[in-house]
Amino acid sequence: AQDWKAATENFRKAAGRGVAVAQHNLALCYEHGWGSEVGVGRDEAAAVKWHRKAASQGYAPAATSLALALGHGRGVDTPDWSEAVTLLRGAADAGHVPAMIHLASCLSSGRGVEAAGLEMNGGDEAGAG
């Protein structure tokens, strides 16, 4: 059985000390409402806050989660695919495979690409031969 109460309390303590993994895990608790018995109900704005803290330390999974929240407008007033793509690019550059997949989706659909200063190569030069 999963003990979300103990896990959430531990994540909260470590997150408060600046541990990026704990900040990300606490954000996931807020995002999904895990640990509601200790006051961590579903709160998308709090999830964004904690993902942002962890992402600012270079923690790629948090950057990916933050990007998806921003892009889909969860926990923020307005969706922001430009910032989402920038975050995904950084996480992808760090080797985070889920970020690579989401970045590829953004690139293929054009979401946030122009504003983030990224371009898709039309394929005219690559493999034309």
Q: How far is CA 71 from the centre of its chain?
A: 10
Q: Count how many domains the chain has.
A: 1
Q: pTM of the full predicted structure?
A: 0.84
Q: How far is CA 65 from the centre of its chain?
A: 2
CB-side neighbour CA atoms (13 Å) of 32: 10
* Structural domain that includes position 91: 4-109
Assign 127 a pLDDT band (cuts: 50, 70, 90). Answer: very low
User: Residue for token digits 């948090």?
Assistant: 62
CB-side neighbour CA atoms (13 Å) of 48: 18
User: Residue for token digits 């704990």?
Assistant: 22
Instruction: Give the Cα separation of 120 and 123 in Å (integer).
Output: 8
Domain assignment present for residue 119? The answer is no
Whether 62 contacts 47, CB under 8 Å: no
Domain assignment present for residue 28? The answer is yes
pLDDT tens digits, one per residue of 7-59: 888 999 999 999 999 999 999 999 998 877 666 778 999 999 999 999 999 99
Domain assignment present for residue 116? The answer is no
pLDDT tens digits, one per residue of 66-110: 999 999 999 999 999 999 999 999 999 999 999 999 999 999 988
List the CATH number of the domain containing 100. 1.25.40.10
